[in-house]
Structure 1
């Protein structure tokens, strides 16, 4: 890539957490996530630490080294972790703490469950908390917009959503990665679909869109997307791992490092 982007990524194929950059073959550090199964969600906290959600709960890692400095593992079926208000941590998953369906737990600073909410559903992946404390829940073919009590406020849906992965609110829209739909969707803040971009017909053949997973928005409002290529350690030569679109959704360039990585899923841009 022409721009040098520093990032933290989850190489799901090789079960590694790594810090890299798009200048040359820059991998600063890499650590195994074998003890943290199905790690998916990444969030920067406290400036120099990362919150990572995984199947058993969540952990916290240092950005400079990847060292895990805190681990909370008390469940099975966790799909996402987020920092909550007032130092709390939000854990999202299925059938947690005896609840049925999509569940969000609130943990205090000592990792004690102080609130648990649930709603009907048999699939959830990443959750995003907005500045208005609404929850955007990725539930396969749609994004549910819910209150913190998991009361439905609306949905975001586009033809082709399949395991829709992540959503983010920007200044004037909501972006969603479509999972196996392998495209990005932009919605108005009122929930109307206004744009689809990044699909197979709008990128070079070498990109091989397969599964658009996590994405980050740069300071210049351009968008970097992880193009996951499948489970297992030998996917690095399939397609391109990291895609770059401008603010309007036009494809700019891509990056891969097949000698070191297999298949990016989690992505957190460091700026």
Structure 2
């Protein structure tokens, strides 16, 4: 075969691969990106610095959900008994609350208090929220009795709560009333919707769990569209996500419980709002199994509490 013909065939091959959507899925580049990851499979907190991998760490933490910057160089993680705050640069535990057995998730509010959520908890049916002050005293109890599970909570710009509950997402007021809700589109598996975030146009973005996609809903709760793929990244379970300052969505593509999933899929994905996979990061199978939560730290002040604003983006409180 001549050299010219060989080059031509290679060019055609790359073109076909590109058209098939199985070339490198990323068009963006973040050589210096820093991330906090929650590896549910190994129950570890990871710090990843792409420019300085010598700073990376992988520390064991209790089982639980979510990640949040809470100021003073700390990240808060929910546990089954409350929450822990850990030093972002080292992963060392700084403080913990472990007196609320049955906690499913924890979230710091704008007022500095902390919301804990549980199910059929504290003597009440359905979803129960406890708001704790800085001395861990219960300031209020909020109850949404008609829901059968709770995943994550996000405080809206108006002080309500966006809560995911299996195949539903709803907005609840502090008085326990429901002002908005939507049902995820039907899938072959139970969705286990993970996180919801209100967008600037009034739509609500939801990571659909086993739907393996993002789903958007309008102000009336009607389905708008979904975003996923391509197959090369093995979409399995869309879990924790963050809306970046460029408007893109970065999500953890969880692959299964326990160890041994590090070779499965590409577990950090970044999409444009138009649905294009803009960037991705492949986990190290020697260090990670199945990533459930992600926080991109670029441009954020680690000494400030961060809450999502009316655009759904993290801003210092």
Q: Give the TM-score taking structure 2 as reference length.
A: 0.78
Over the residues paired in the alignment, what is the CA RMSD in angstroms? 1.9
Give runs of aligned pairs for residues 115-154 of structure 1, distance below 5 A: 115-120=140-145, 121-154=147-180
C-alpha distance 29-99 of structure 1, shift in aligned 2 (>3 A) = same
Counterpart-to-counterpart distance in 1, 2:232 and 2:267: 11
Cα deviations by residue, 1:16-48 (Å, 9 ceiling, x for unpaired): 001114559676222101xx22x2111111262
* Number of equivalent positions: 264
Q: Structure 2: which 5+ residue stretches go unaligned? A: 1-25, 299-317
Q: Is the 8 A contact 1:3 1:23 kept in 2?
A: no
Q: Which residue of 2 aligns with 1:7?
A: 35
Q: Residue 67 of structure 2 aligns to a residue in which SS?
A: strand
Could you tell me how far apart the structure 2 residues matched to 1:246 and 1:223 are?
6
- Map 1:1-271 → 2, pairs under 5 A: 2-4=29-31, 5-22=33-50, 28-33=56-61, 36-37=62-63, 39-46=64-71, 48-120=73-145, 121-159=147-185, 160=187, 162-172=191-201, 173-198=203-228, 202-203=229-230, 205-256=231-282, 257-271=284-298
Give the whole-Å Cα distance in 2 for the aligned partners of 1:22 and 1:184.
Answer: 26
Higher relative strand content = 1
**Deviations 1:224-263 (Å, cap 9, x if unpaired)?**
1101000111101011111111132211232212221100
Ranges of 4+ aligned residues in structure 1 off by more than 6 Å: none
Q: Which runs of 5+ in 1 are unaligned?
A: none
Give the Cα separation in 1 of the matches to 2:262 and 2:54: 15
Q: Is the 8 A contact 1:18 1:27 kept in 2?
A: no
Task: Please say which of residues 222-231 and 94-103 is displaced more in the overlay.
Answer: 94-103
Conserved 8 A contact 1:8-1:17:
yes
1:112, distance to aligned residue in structure 2 (A): 1.2
> Is 149-158 or 224-233 further displaced after alignment?
149-158
When the two structures are superposed, what TM-score results if normalisation uses the length of structure 1? 0.91
